[in-house]
Chains A and B, each alone.
Chain A
Amino acid sequence: MMKDPYSILGVSPGATDEEVKNAYRSLARKYHPDNYADDNPLKELAKEKMQEINDAYDTIQRERRSGSSSYSSSSQSYGSTGGYSTSGQSNVYVTIRLKINERKYREAENMLLGIPDAERTADWHFLTSVCLMQRGRVNDAMRELEIACSMDPSNQEYQNAKQMFNSGGNNYGSMYYGNSGGYRRARSSTDDACNCCINLMWLDCCCECMGGDLIRCI
């Protein structure tokens, strides 16, 4: 360990276990890689920071009471991957869904672009929306999703995605203004873990409604 674990967490070596835990939690909430879309250039950096605080926290835990750490596995908490259902689709869309599952969004998008206008189904618009979202083109993604929904209003998958999409910004600002009474106090409150759940990426909401498993992510 090159750096003092206490200074990484921003607490003094004399801090209580509770203080260390709170400091760790508030930093983990900040750096959680699920806060970053896959294409976001900051995702890697956030992962590094997360790893750094995970290591620091583990080190402190080990120093203080050997073995009994409940957080040693925390670094696995963000290894989330959503699944995309692939049932009942025509062939090319199955392949594209698989690409999206593997997070090969560029390839998926190129395949989508290769499909001629006349053959673009509701599913085409839906999958395009997923890819656009990955590139941070939220407005365009939303347009495509709306087209998909209007082409096939009965499709539950699209409706769910739309709902998830619409609720994506709902909790924005909760860190400052949430029920724990504000950003400043939230740092020492005990419901940080809850907020952490709330802060789970809206992107993963997409995965979830498409057959993935959110619980697994947490």
Chain B
Amino acid sequence: MFGYVKPVVSELLVKENEFYRATYCGICRAMKRHTGRLSTVTLTYDSVFLALVRMAYIPDSELSSSMRRCIAHPMKKKNMLNENSAIEYTARAFGILTYYKMRDDLTDERAGKRMLLSLLRPIASDAKKRANLSELSDTVRDRLEKITEHERARTASVDEPASLFGELLGEIFSFGLSGEDKLVTYQCGFHLGKFIYAADAAEDYSEDKRLGRYNPFIELYGGAELTAENKASIKCALLLECRALEGAVNLIPFGRKITVENIVRNIIYLGLTKRIEFLDGEDGEEKKGQE
């Protein structure tokens, strides 16, 4: 859905990569059960991050996997995480998010994509109903509606709409938890959401300009080609968001779930920064990791 929240696979240990894939398959299986078989076509790798964060809050004993076959890979059995509460929640929450995101996109995407989306809509709608988390569903709708208001008003600020999207993800990450856990996961979702919104807007800058769509950076920079300096300051703000996200992740009690923690850190350190490499100017090759 966002395409931002993925690990850099080459930097994962083999067992971490395996766990990551098993989690993805586990979510897919859970979606089949809780939001409908067809809804699995809307599943993306972004959902795994939510599942990993929520896994920190379940007992170690609930993390088990088994070899299973699925329709997508009928020839070979695959390692899949057995369903646990973190995975089940992720499946339901993504059902809701996909529905509203799709409903949103239907109004502002181009014709071709719109047609594709309208085909998927009944599936997403059904998934949302089955997800059966009406409270969360209302929150998601509310935040997306507020973002739409900013789009209509053409707000010349990134932080305002981005914070709303942050709140949306914050609610999703923290739903059903309480106290300290809620606080930490909320912040985790909040900063990830802000990051995604701003990175997305930066990336769509030229396209949005061409199509006359709302984009906070166009409102701010007037629609001219972004200079290297503009890009550098956008990138800097994004990295500060990453820092805040790191602060939240530091407080997640992963305990002995080192594999889970390492994947999460790979995603926030390497995955997210890789995703915003498009903002690098000529000096992009500096970031090779070696001093």
Contact = CB atoms under 8 A, between A and B. Distances in A.
Interface of A: 30-31, 35-37, 40-42, 45-46, 49, 136-140, 142-143, 146, 165-166, 168-170, 172-173, 175-179, 183-184, 202
A35 B262 contact: no
B239 interface: yes
B115 interface: no
Contact of A184 (B243, B262, B269): B262
Contact of A173 (B237, B238, B269): B269
A178 B247 CA distance: 17
Given A169-B238, A172-B243, A176-B266, 12 more contacts: A35-B250, A37-B244, A42-B251, A136-B159, A140-B158, A143-B220, A166-B232, A169-B236, A170-B239, A172-B242, A178-B291, A179-B290
Nearest to A132: B159
28 contacts: A35-B243, A35-B246, A40-B187, A40-B244, A40-B247, A42-B187, A42-B248, A42-B251, A46-B250, A46-B251, A136-B159, A136-B244, A137-B159, A137-B163, A138-B159, A138-B236, A138-B237, A139-B237, A140-B159, A166-B233, A168-B236, A169-B236, A169-B243, A172-B242, A172-B273, A173-B270, A176-B266, A183-B265
Given A40-B247, A42-B247, A176 B269 contact: yes
B81 interface: no
Interface string B227-259: 000001111111111111011101100000000
A200 B265 CA distance: 19
Given A49-B251, A138-B159, A202-B240, A172 B246 contact: yes
Contacts of B183: 41-42, 45
A138 B244 CA distance: 11
Task: Report the contact-size class of chain B (Cβ under 8 Å from the partner).
Answer: 35 or more
Contact of A168 (B157, B234, B240): B240
A46 B251 CA distance: 7
A30 B246 CA distance: 9
Q: Interface of chain B, helix or strand or loop or mixed?
A: helix
A49 to B, nearest CB: 7
Nearest to A137: B159
A172 B236 CA distance: 10
B289 interface: yes
A146 B232 CA distance: 13
A183 B236 contact: no
A139 B180 contact: no
B162 interface: yes
Contact of B184 (A45, A173, A179): A45
Contacts of A166: 232-233, 236
A146 B183 CA distance: 33
Contacts of A140: 157-159
Q: What are the nearest 10 A-B pairs in CB distance? A: A169-B239, A173-B269, A176-B269, A179-B291, A30-B250, A139-B158, A137-B159, A138-B237, A139-B237, A177-B289
